[in-house]
Amino acid sequence: MDATRGLGDFSDDLYALAGALGLGDGKIHLVGWSVGGTIAVRYATDHPDMVSSLTLVNPMSPYGFGGTKDASGIPCWPDYAGSGGGTANPEFVRRLREGDRSEEDLNSPRNVMNAFYVKPPFRVPEERRTSSLSSMLSTKVAEETYPGDVTPSRNWPNVAPGKGGMNNAISPKYCDLGGFATIDPKPSVLWIRGTDDALVSDASLLDFGYLGQLEAVPGWPGEGVYPPQPMVSQTRAVLDAYVQNGGGYREEVIEDCGHSPHVEKPEEFRRALFSFLEEHS
């Protein structure tokens, strides 16, 4: 994966899939969850005339993950330190590589899924939990896939983006989708999010700025230099700019819900999604 293209490889894959399914000549409704939501934004930016609507489910910020300090995506450091392949928990990566299905350690893929992808004490039903874990464990762990290569940095937390792999592709060094606000034509957007998302929020438990504020990572240079990344605020700023340029979006906030509203609150999720799709069919 060429991470220097940001989410471009994913957008190209989606374009090829649409063509293979015979959808390349018409408009499609895109529904994307987490990073998938931001891939949908990139696809719409690349091919605005091919999208009927966008549904973004707890999407990653349009300015990537980690290393930015305000709603406009300004980097904390010039080299974007604090984002990229070196930000992944090495113990989680090791267990992922080994296909660990245990619950013996907080860093096991199963426990990470239960702690971060849903709001505890909610538990994914066993049959879905097994398939979800299998999907997570299918991740290919390597520098060119996940999490990616690492560049040392003199800036806290001493890692900067490399050039390959998933975590580098979502670094704000390469992922900047602020231009979505100016695309033409402008499909309608539904933004669905859970109120208690631990992954994508203005206080993400995987963001170095927030972890530094909690004193979970030593050496934090302070809020003036490296504040928590305002992920939700960044998404809202881009969507508000989209409206100012003639587009439209609706925000549906699901209470008492984490990163996976389609799993945790399926009825509320379906009601919001299907109502939106019917309106824009």
pLDDT at 124 > cutoff 90: no
d(CA 97, CA 237): 37
Q: Are strands 141-142 and 146-147 parallel, antiparallel or unpaired?
A: parallel
25 pLDDT more than 80 = no
- Enumerate the β-bridge partners of residue 189: 54, 249
Share of the chain above pLDDT 90, in %: 90
Could you tell me if 180 and 271 lie in one domain? yes
The answer to whether residue 24 scores a pLDDT higher than 80 is no
pLDDT at 129: 79
Q: What is the pLDDT of residues 212-222, one digit of tens each?
A: 999 999 999 99
Mean pLDDT of the chain: 95
Q: Residues 89, 182: one domain?
A: no
Claim: this prediction has a pTM higher than 0.85: yes
Select from 147, 173, 197 the last residue of a domain: 147
Whether 131 and 9 share a structural domain: no
User: Is residue 260 domain-resident?
Assistant: no
Number of folded domains in the chain?
2
Whether residue 94 contacts residue 146, with contact meaning beta carbons closer than 8 Å, is answered with no
Whole-number pLDDT of residue 281: 83
Task: Give the pLDDT band (50/70/90) at residue 152.
Answer: very high
* Statement to judge: residues 63 and 172 lie in one domain: yes
Using the predicted structure, report yes or no on whether residue 193 has a pLDDT greater than 80.
yes
Domain of residue 181: give its range.
3-75+163-251+266-279
- pLDDT score of 88 more than 90: yes
Tokens of residue 223, six digits? 């809020």
For residue 115, pLDDT over 80 is answered with: yes
